[in-house]
Structure 1
Amino acid sequence: MTAGITIDLGDPVPPYEQIRRQLSSLIAVGALPPGSRLPTVRSLAADLGIAAGTVARAYRELEQSGLIEARRRNGTIVVGPAEVPHGNAGADAAVMAAVDGLIATARHAGFRDETLVDLLRGRLAQTSKLDS
């Protein structure tokens, strides 16, 4: 099971970071809710055709950020963040609807997914500077 994870070896983003980002996103949108078991490091590495150390690094970073937990006998489990941010389900649904709308609009306009992500990161960086 790769959980829809793909690696683009031509992407300048390191493979471990590609895995981390994709798993983090799947957890954030609820596609991997708390309690979900992730594939073993070796299994995911074999499925993706990459070194086990690459997957292990992604898992370590996800664990450090509190999204997953490695348990000796139970494997690696998703532990967060499926709860609704700030306890406001309406706001969470509105944000998800806005993201879905953004994706649909960008695809209709012919944007590649990677371009959309880059644009979003750029705008987030700009607004972070304004908020400071």
Structure 2
Amino acid sequence: MSIVFHVELSTDSTQPPYDQLRMAVIEQVRAGTLTAGTKIPTVRALAAELGIAPNTVARAYRELEADGVVETRGRQGSFIASSGDPTRDIAGRAAVDYIATIRRLGLDDSAAIEFVQRALQA
């Protein structure tokens, strides 16, 4: 079952349309409006509905897929891949990658924390 989610793109925004669309999907996943397994509109159908270029929707979908929010199942279409807060999943993976890098460099936990504190202060 395909769902038409509510998306409003602002022509006055400094945020590009693909990013507005990407964030709208993420916000609806966070809110529970779009749940795991929900089929989302095709690129062409959503582009026509929003009155934007298909490449704009395709870019948003690609970025959502790279972030693990959307998954494409070939001819079956695209679906919401995760429920809850996808940004926390992304941040968690980044933290794991960071620690793996720290370990490869032979640094200890105190060094890892020091780098994070410096980055937060910058």
The whole-number CA distance in structure 1 between the counterparts of 2:31 and 2:50 is: 22
Equivalence for 2:60: 58
Shift of 1:30: 1.1
CA separation in 1, counterparts of 2:83 and 2:38?
12
Query: Quick one: distance in 2 between partners of 1:70 and 1:53?
Result: 16
Task: Please give the TM-score of this superposition, normalised by the length of structure 2.
Answer: 0.66
SS in structure 2 of the partner of residue 19 of structure 1: helix
Aligned to 1:29: 31
Counterparts in 2 of 1:1-132, with a 5 A limit?
2-82=4-84, 129=120
Paired amino acid for 1:53: N
Counterpart Cα distance in 1 of 2:75 and 2:54: 19
Aligned residues: 88
Q: CA deviation at 1:2?
A: 4.2
Partner of 2:91 in structure 1?
A: none
Give structure 2 stretches of 5+ with no counterpart: 89-118
Letter in 2 for 1:20: R
Deviations 1:51-70 (A, max 9, x none): 00000000000000001101
Q: Distance in 2 between matches of 1:28 and 1:21?
A: 10
Structure 1 residue ranges, 4+ long, deviating more than 6 angstroms after superposition = none
Cα distance in structure 2, aligned partners of 1:43 and 1:57: 15
Q: For the pair shown, which has the larger CA radius of gyration, 1 or 2? A: 2
Determine if contact 1:69/1:77 at 8 Å carries over to the other structure. yes
Greater RCO, CA 8 A, separation 6+: 2
Tell me how far apart the structure 2 counterparts of residues 3 and 80 of structure 1 sit (CA, whole Å): 16
Alignment TM-score, normalising by the size of structure 1: 0.61
2:48 aligned counterpart, secondary structure: helix
